[in-house]
Amino acid sequence: MNRLANPELKEPANQGSAMGSAKSRLTWIWSEYSVIIAFVIIFILAAIVNPRFLDINNQLNILMQVSIIGIVALGMTVVMLSGGIDLSVGSVLALVGVLTVLALNASGSILVGILTALASGVIIGLLNGLLVAKGKIASFIATLGMMAGARSIALYIAEGGSISGEVSGFTAIANTELWVIDVPIIIFILMAVLVYMLMHKTSFGRHVYALGSNEKAALLSAIRVDRVKIAVYSLAGLLVSVAAIIETSRLNSISSSSSGMQYELDAIAAVIIGGTRMTGGRGKVIGTFFGVLILGILNNMMNLMNVSPHLQGFVKGAIIIVAVVFQKRE
């Protein structure tokens, strides 16, 4: 039959092609921007449910509350992109905080306290990296051991309690405002920008993605896998130490038993919500940024609605499961 005499015969194929193209486009949009879409939806719903949510002071309060866990989550993003995981971040934060206060009180110098925090965080991260890269220990096991060890040392040094700083000026780090914005918020945004540039604009970032996608292929591509792993965990330790400085500065004290508790859960939740795969090799720093904001909005809404704090962990756990389910369907 002549197609010219029956042009309608080709229309179903064209329609099918157009529908397939539209579907693939929507799939791509959801894959690339799902966390931003989810953020917008949750933000709108929160504003509808409680008008107080839109108050500027409440918005700044949300950003302030997520700044510490947000910085920790940035380091967790890099680790998970490499195909690993770091369960020690909460305990390391407590230990770094204890060491920071001890150095602060012994020297009377804020600079010495900050340098101590940064150095101890990097050293602990380096140890994690060496256990994973050179010791060939699974990251889950290595960082689980570090989690127990770091918390134990912090408890021993602080005798199971809290340690207070004796240098009053140290509190200015977390309690100062610049242009009506708290310094921890500015630090969080700055860290997000720096980590984004590192992961998306440098060869190190490309190596991390390659390692997470296929470690054997990365080795065959002449990537020094062990060095990348060590650098990844060292960077995570550095970011944890920045978070520890803010946490310690907020009240000029640190609790060896409660500080950093379950931070690993919050950080992992933010990273997964942001679209980073548990198996590594795929994800974006900007996704983690919005993942942290989503967690902050949910926590804020539960507080405004007087939801029991004991149920908030359940909500976070459910969110992690749902996020992983959606990742598997992509």
pLDDT in tens, 56-90: 999 999 999 999 999 999 999 999 999 999 999 99
Name which of 308, 316, 312, 311 is nearest 291 in CA terms.
316
Per-residue pLDDT at 37: 86
Written as one string, the DSSP assignment of 127-179 is HHHHHHHTS---HHHHHHHHHHHHHHHHHHHTTTSEEE-S-GGGGGGTS-EET
Q: Alpha-carbon distance 232 to 236, whole Å? A: 6
In a domain, 314, yes or no: no
In a domain, 120, yes or no: yes
In a domain, 182, yes or no: yes
Q: Alpha-carbon distance 163 to 167, whole Å? A: 12
In a domain, 58, yes or no: no
Report the residue count for the chain: 330
pLDDT tens digits along 142-185: 999 999 999 999 999 999 889 998 888 899 998 888 888 899 99
In a domain, 98, yes or no: yes
Average pLDDT over residues 173-199: 92
Question: Tokens in use for 216?
Answer: 């054997």
The pLDDT confidence band at residue 285, using thresholds 50, 70 and 90, is very high
In a domain, 295, yes or no: no
Residue holding tokens 């029991």? 308
Q: Does 307 or 265 have the greater pLDDT score?
A: 265
Name residue 162's beta-bridge partners. Answer: 255
By percentage, how much of the chain surpasses pLDDT 70? 89
Q: 46 with 300: CB under 8 angstroms?
A: yes
Per-residue pLDDT at 178: 84
Q: Alpha-carbon distance 328 to 157, whole Å? A: 44
In a domain, 149, yes or no: yes
Number of domains composing the chain: 1
Q: Is the pTM of this model over 0.95?
A: no
Q: Alpha-carbon distance 11 to 318, whole Å? A: 45
pLDDT tens digits along 47-56: 998 888 888 9
Average pLDDT over residues 134-149: 95
In a domain, 242, yes or no: yes
The alpha carbon torsion through 281, 283, 286, 291 (nearest 10 deg) reads -130
* Domain hosting residue 244, numbered range: 65-261
